[in-house]
Amino acid sequence: MAFFLTTPFLGFMYYFIPKAANRPIYSYRLSIVHFWALIFIYIWAGPHHLLYTALPGWAQSLGVVFSVMLIAPSWGGMINGLFTLRGAWDRVRKDPVLKFMVVGVTAYGMATFEGPMMSFKSVNAVIHYTDYVIAHVHTAALLWNGGLTFAMLYFIVPRIFNTKIYSLKMANFHFWAVTLGTVIYVIPIYWGGVTQSLMWKEFTDSGTLMYPNFMETVTHLIPMYAARAIGGTLYFVGVIAGMYNLFSTMKQGSLTSDEKAEANKAEFQSDTSKGSSFHRWLEAKPTQFTVLTVVAILIGGFVEYIPTALVKSNVPTIESVRPYTPLELVGRDIYIAEGCVGCHSQMIRPFRSETERYGEYSKAGEFVYDRPFLWGSKRTGPDLHRVGGKYPDSWHYMHFMDSRSTSPGSIMPSYPWFATRKIDLDVVPAKIRALQRLGVPYRDGFDEAAIDDLRQQAEGIADGLANSGFDVDWDSHMVAVIAYLQRLGTDIKAQPQAEAASDDTETSTASR
């Protein structure tokens, strides 16, 4: 987010606000401090997405500290943008460009205040994995990134086409539709996020979960999703009006396809007051500037990444954790391709409300063979890290064919094609070799045996399903996904898996 939706848009802000307001930037020095502080600090803040997970505690703490520090440059930047409008506020009333900018920069300020608050561990414990985060991101994306984009288009299109905005009225409608649309969009999901979290965490007086069935929390949110859709539609209608307005502007004008232009040298030379001259020099040197920027960004990355990768004690390995079987690997790839990770996390945090609901909390050592990680960031559905063994294979079969057959009212899509779509067996040996190269300890030559191993395990599952009355080919997606799900989170359990599965596990283990 930081380097896609924040820094580039700040660049736009610093260029277009002075242009549109016809005022010099409030403080050039502040803009430089803003830039360097932001790019230096932002990378360090990454772990605020992983609080209370299996990430080492020291990295989590660094993430919190740097997230809180981010308030300073962010708010400095917001104030710099808004103060640039001093003396031009009367025009904000009339000019759609300035309106969009003011709302955009204000949204930037709100989101960059809210972000650090969300990275306090006690707050994060409540809002992480909920829709609250979605509301936070959309405030920024729809108003800050959206608002600034519309402002730039309204500024630049009439200039390129040598004309005026086609309809000021329509631009104002666009502005209000976008602003109110966002408000109507985010309030229900903020509300929903908090509701969801409190329901997940609620205990009865006798110490059991108040809402043990995850579906209860899902159905409770559906009206809020509907309200969110109304806001989203209003925003979208605004955007359509805006696009129509811009196209009409292009049509009524005539394109200035080329313009003789040259940077104003005097501007660079005139400002040689002490302190700013070095930076003025640097700004004119793209290579040096890029190198210094990259160095500033990388420092935090190195400090947080290298010890986690190199210091063994950061990842306590667990004896009983074994690599996935070829069939499970295929199932895992289908899980990725189908986007299950968008709705399901695989990371149980060490809270009583989560261990009661999902089981033992997740340990770093359980993920050593997970490439890439599927920890997830939102729980539209329940966490799946310990779903292995929770249901029989036949339950999963029915759930994928029609999610509402097992879970009335479910909003999980059904995946009936799992029953008919076939696994591509040819790529399996290459998958094994790729993982071997990444250090996963399959025995030498296991790639050759992988297809046989896969078939053996798959036939076991298909036979089991046939016994329950569900006929499905052993090489279907269904069998692979079920194999993967039944494996999840089971390695550290003291009890071995169900008898039927243990045969396969043994042969697979022997062949590894």
CA atoms within 13 A on the CB side of 50: 22
Query: Which stretch, 142-150, 262-270, 283-291, 341-349, contacts ligand HEC (CB under 6 A)?
Result: 341-349
Q: Which of 215, 297, 434, 449 touches ligand HEC by CB under 6 A?
A: 215
Which residue number, 151 or 189, has a Cβ lying nearer to ligand HEC? Answer: 189
* Tokens standing for residue 162: 């040598």
192 binds ligand HEC (CB under 6 A): no
Query: Which stretch, 127-135, 201-209, 315-323, 375-383, contacts ligand HEC (CB under 6 A)?
Result: 375-383
Size of the site for ligand HEC (CB under 6 A): 25
Q: What is the C-alpha separation between 361 and 355, in angstroms, rounded? A: 6
What is the dihedral sign for C-alpha 65, 303, 38, 45?
negative
Q: What is the C-alpha separation between 492 and 386, in angstroms, rounded? A: 10
Q: Which of 70, 103, 218, 435 touches ligand HEC by CB under 6 A?
A: 218
Query: Which stretch, 21-29, 185-193, 337-345, 362-370, contacts ligand HEC (CB under 6 A)?
Result: 337-345
362 binds ligand HEC (CB under 6 A): no
Q: Which of 325, 410, 456, 486 touches ligand HEC by CB under 6 A?
A: 410
Q: What is the C-alpha separation between 150 and 102, in angstroms, rounded? A: 12
Q: What is the C-alpha separation between 479 and 462, in angstroms, rounded? A: 7
Q: What is the C-alpha separation between 186 and 50, in angstroms, rounded? A: 23
382 binds ligand HEC (CB under 6 A): yes
Q: Which of 344, 349, 477, 487 touches ligand HEC by CB under 6 A?
A: 344
| Residue carrying the six token digits 């006929």 | 471
Q: For residue 137, give the nearest of 181, 182, 97, 202 by alpha carbon.
A: 182
Question: Residue 168 burial (CB < 10 Å; 0-12/13-18/19+)?
Answer: middle
Query: Which stretch, 105-113, 136-144, 224-232, 378-386, contacts ligand HEC (CB under 6 A)?
Result: 378-386
User: Could you give the C-alpha distances from 24 to 21, 35, 76, 102, 386, in angstroms and in order?
Assistant: 8, 18, 16, 16, 58
104 binds ligand HEC (CB under 6 A): no
Smallest separation (angstroms) from ligand HEC to the CB of 41: 34
Site map 415..444 versus ligand HEC, x via CB under 6 A: x-----------------------------
Binding site for ligand HEC (CB under 6 A): 214-215, 218, 335, 338-340, 342-344, 380-382, 384, 387, 390, 403, 407, 410-413, 415, 481, 485
